[in-house]
Amino acid sequence: MKNLKGKNALITGANSGIGQAIAIRLAQEGCNIAINYRRKLEEAEHTEKMALQSAREAGKESSVQSLLVQGDVSQEEDIIRVVNSVVQKFGSLDILVNSAGIQTEGVSHDVPTDQFDQVIAVNLRGAYLCARETIKHLLAQQRSGVIINVSSVHEVIPRPMYLSYAISKGGMGSLTKTLALEYANRGIRVNAIAPGATETPINESWTTDLEKKAIVESHIPMGRSGTSDEMAAAVAFLASDEAAYITGQTLFIDGGLTLYADFREAWSA
């Protein structure tokens, strides 16, 4: 992608899954990367190793710097420290990718309040606080910047048994649009990607069960699940100057899942 070399990016939840793939792809494009993780340092170190290897293979290793930065995005003081650490290391912060996320399963009338609050705190409140601190920095340095939220198809598709997760992603859509409108004239673009069924650790309940996986993929017009690398490619595009006129949008990367997928057989009959 054009004009990503030398940019400074913070990716939350980058120790695994989509966040990990994004960190690797941005390093491949020449970005300096700050890899945020909450607990599993060894996973973050593995992400860093793969990212630098990717940069090396792309011929950009010498220009790519990396930083491992621990922090729980549900904790305001952690977020402030994380953003300040990135700015101190790299001098500025150009790209924020809000990728940290959790989900819990249960019938809606039995969801414990603390469990509900934790999902909202990580997925929605954490994304807002990371964006808030990034925007403060961008305004203070009079810099343009990019914020990309990792949402979900459940931003628009209800998901029974996962109430708090669906609510958090619906809220992320509004967060994306509101921040995009408010800061468009300050050179700050805000967009989101909405992955569909993607093979990541958070989805192991169906990706590791061939029967369940077949059922899930039968509802996808393209007939397969997505990959973390496909999500990362979209983030690289949205972060680049090739997307300079795009803001306030959620890009659904779902193989057509949101397009009334159950009508596929009837339509093609």
Domain CATH number, residue 178: 3.40.50.720
Boundaries of domain holding 127:
8-199+230-255
Q: Is residue 222 part of a domain?
A: no
pLDDT tens across the length of the chain (269 residues): 568 999 999 999 999 999 999 999 999 999 999 999 999 999 999 999 999 999 999 887 678 999 999 999 999 999 999 999 999 999 999 999 999 999 998 999 999 999 999 999 999 999 999 999 999 999 999 999 999 999 999 999 988 999 999 999 999 999 999 999 999 999 999 999 999 999 877 766 766 778 888 888 888 999 999 999 999 999 999 999 999 999 999 999 999 999 965 645 544 44
Residue 60 covered by a domain: yes
Catalytic residues: 165
Torsion of CA 78, 83, 89, 92, to 10 degrees: -170
Residue 58 belongs to a domain: yes
Q: How many domains does the chain have?
A: 1
> What is d(CA 225, CA 249) in angstroms, rounded to the nearest whole number?
23
**Nearest Cα to Cα of residue 44 among 26, 18, 25, 70:** 70
Tell me the C-alpha distance between 226 and 116, whole Å: 27
**pLDDT tens-digit readout, 125-166:** 999 999 999 999 999 999 999 999 999 999 999 889 999 999
132 belongs to a structural domain: yes
Flag whether 130 is in a domain.
Answer: yes
pLDDT of residue 56: 94
Is residue 64 domain-resident?
yes
**Is residue 133 situated within a structural domain?**
yes
